[in-house]
Amino acid sequence: MQLEFTDRHVVVTGGTGALGAAVVELLIASGAVVSIPAHRAPDPAKFPPARHERVRILAPVDLADEAAVQKFYQGLPALWASVHVAGGFAAAPILDTTLADFRQMIEINASTCFLCCREAVRKIGGSNSGGRIVNVASKPAVIPTAGLCAYAASKAAVANLTMSLSEELAAERIWVNAVVPSIMDTPANRAAMPKADFSKWPKLTEVAATIAFLASPQNTATRGALVPVYGQS
């Protein structure tokens, strides 16, 4: 299926990271105009989409700051979709997890997703033409995994938020979905797990393709889905 985003505006949080960059590249190849909120402006030599005429990077934006997120979305033109890739990861058994560690995961993953969803709904709803929201949960959020209690809980919140908003926004034709990746094939993950079978991990382009479809106007019916993107892992 050929995705068509011509003249459609899409936000991608975490758009300068590994998965976010793959999403941005696919969206601009499909004709989208993309806005990326970032902690700091990326080096164009390391992030080529920064040079693209249809990519707008706004920095600094702290996605855990309510006022900053409100200001970012309020300053945007009409919005079709918002894709929420930004987040973080931490692994530790519960006895090694402090309350500060737990709160950090909730803030980085769940709170940022909540704020961006809320402001995206406000912006998309103002157009009265429907739209799309795509979140990024994680396999440990739905499949019990030892040693990831704080991270898994924060991503489980993302998954539940996705399903709740799907019902709340159906009448406005704003489809809300989430992808649920397992360990993705990134340089960082390869370095952290050098003995793993990388061939079983989903590729960034594969996860990005799923996100792009869910965010596209070609997705005419899917909402409230937690879409596994596990590859063979």
Active site residues: 151
Tokens 């926004």 correspond to 169
- State whether residue 172 is helix, strand or coil: helix
Sorted by sequence, the CB contacts under 8 Å of residue 49 that are 6+ apart come out as 15, 21, 24, 25, 28, 34, 55
**Residue where the block lists tokens 């560690």:** 101
**Closest to 151 measured CA to CA, from 103, 191, 201:** 103
Give the number of other Cβ atoms within 10 Å of residue 128's Cβ.
Answer: 8
CB 63 within 8 A of CB 86: yes
Tokens of 48: 């080529």
Task: Decide if 105 contacts 126 (C-beta within 8 A).
Answer: no
